[in-house]
Structure 1
């Protein structure tokens, strides 16, 4: 039976597809544009079945769900991560198609239409939510290569970021499990430690052999810098508010990765070593 992965050309979805394929599981990759799945960084492995469909248009998904035993579903769509509003229709289609297991990339602790549809469905469902992905620090790559410096506000914030490869492996393990041990659970995935931005920059410096700096900005300095970079004011307001109100819980580590995979999660230093080339001039 086939496993369907939605968001298959995204950074995380592609890793899920690759891991399932490399471990011998028949995998079907859903994307809005099949041509994108065969080119550039989004290229999927040979032998992966690629199908087109749009999660915001459930009537495009019937063929993709045919013969599927397990489904990985995004809880948000598009570059702006708009919450998925068609969850109930998709869950109904999946149930009718005979899908047995479901992973949902969403928090799963509110009462949105998707959450309710998942919790009341007959499927073996599991919510999966990484606190933060280590790959988000790739957003620093350009400035580190050109200035050897990262400049951001709120330097004291700490996040227990998870290696995206660990997250993909957890999703794959849940999708292929047959004992139901993960059914009905919400897995909050983290790395083994919570780090400040400065600590992450230090780890990247150690991995690359470069001298790098982290400079903390005031709100006004951040506004000036981001405006110069072309950010709209509403985007600046959103980021400053988000960082100013980061809950302390994002620094809490969990055992979820080890519970599922039977090994500790990868630390940020290991991630930085594996991605050092992205930060070197």
Structure 2
């Protein structure tokens, strides 16, 4: 088996390569792809083959797939451009006769109404239409996304959002990467859609409690309306479009778009997922170092 990890120079991609190696994959069986291969020097030093792979350049995708039978398509980061970029990878995988395509999607991607869902829904539909044997792993929110909230709370004593009492069932990037590695390495899983979640369901009020424990000071949760949230984001320097996009995600969380059953990660990896407090501590550690 030869596994191609796309976007391997990114935060998630690097962790997937690490997880594959930790789980016993031979370095020579892993291909790490990125737009800039100089950013893959650490993987190359460990014996992993590195290749140029740019979602906007189909020829690089075709070349990267040579000799590959399993692919992890990590979703692109360019909002509004993801569907055609992902389509290039899916088309190339079909042409190459890939035996397993794993795609990192978003929670409740085909049923939920929030700004990030449409591109993931469209990509999942393209995968089904292609006929390429596939597995969908829908990553819940990264704990690392909330490190900034906790860091700011060290001075303000407040975490604020317009998520209301919306539930998040997140995990660390490392946990989600490990779950993806299991799906890539193990036989089976084809046709499955996994809602990858942590072991805890929590709200922003719970985030305030976790921040209090980490910081050693009381932190309160201040709920905002969507309008208040947009105004605060614009005051912080975001343009109206981006402020509306960010607040729209929080509005989706308030409606329950991230609420999925707990334990998705641990069921695949066979170990407990990282707790919210431990995950946030780890995310904050580099800033404190």
The residue aligned with 2:144 is 135
Q: Assess, with a 3 A threshold, how the Cα gap between structure 1 residues 90 and 279 changes in structure 2: closer, same or farther.
A: closer
* SS of corresponding position for 1:188: strand
The Cα offsets for residues 11-34 of structure 1, whole Å up to 9 and x where unpaired, read as 211211111123342322111112
Supply the distance in 2 between the matched residues of 1:232 and 1:207 (Cα, whole angstroms).
32
Cα displacement string for residues 183-238 of structure 1 (whole angstroms, at most 9, x for unaligned residues):
10110111122211121132133134344333333445434432221110122222
State how 1:74-153 maps to structure 2 within 5 Å.
74=74, 76-80=75-79, 82-107=81-106, 109=110, 114-121=123-130, 123-140=132-149, 142-153=151-162
Change (3 A) 1:66 1:171: same
TM-score if structure 1 supplies the norm length? Answer: 0.83
Which secondary structure state, in structure 1, belongs to the residue aligned with residue 69 of structure 2?
strand
How much does 1:253 deviate? 1.9
Paired position in structure 2 for 1:241: 248
Kept in 2, the 8 Å contact 1:160–1:190? The answer is yes
Alpha-carbon spacing, 1:78–1:132, altered in 2? closer, same or farther (3 Å): closer
Match of 1:165 among 171, 174, 177: 174
Q: Which stretch has the larger CA shift, 102-111 or 253-262?
A: 102-111
Per-residue CA shift, 1:128-185, capped at 9, x if unaligned?
102322121123255235434323334422211122222111111111112x1x1101
Q: Distance in 2 between matches of 1:113 and 1:229?
A: 32
TM-score by length of 2: 0.81
Aligned pair in 2 of structure 1 residues 248, 268: CA closer, same or farther (>3 Å)?
same
Does the aligned pair in 1 maintain the 2:54–2:61 contact within 8 Å? Answer: yes
Q: CA RMSD in A?
A: 2.9
Is the aligned partner of 1:212 residue 2:212? no
Distance 1:62 1:192, change over 3 A: same
State the distance in 1 between where 2:32 and 2:4 align. 6
What's the counterpart of residue 6 of structure 1? Answer: 6
Provide the rounded CA distance (Å) in 2 between the counterparts of 1:250 and 1:236.
20
Is the alpha carbon distance of 1:113 and 1:195 closer, same or farther for their aligned partners in structure 2, counting shifts above 3 Å? closer
Larger relative helix fraction: 2
Contact 2:208 2:221 (8 Å CA) reproduced = yes
For 2:168 and 2:45, the matched residues in 1 are separated by 36
Structure 2 gap ranges (5+):
112-119
SS of 1:241 mapped into structure 2: helix
Matched, 1:36 2:39: yes
* Deviation of the 1:279 alpha carbon: 6.7
Give the deviation of 1:280 after TM superposition: 5.3
| Residue-pair matches, total | 274
Q: Is the 8 Å Cα contact of residues 154 and 243 (structure 1) preserved in structure 2?
A: yes
The structure whose residues are more often strand, as a share, is 1
Conservation of the 8 A alpha-carbon contact between 1:227 and 1:233: yes
Provide the rounded CA distance (Å) in 2 between the counterparts of 1:24 and 1:131.
26
**Contact 1:141-1:278 at 8 Å conserved across structures:** no
**1-structure distance, mates of 2:3, 2:80:** 23
Q: Distance in 2 between matches of 1:91 and 1:223?
A: 36
**5+ long unaligned stretches in structure 1:** none
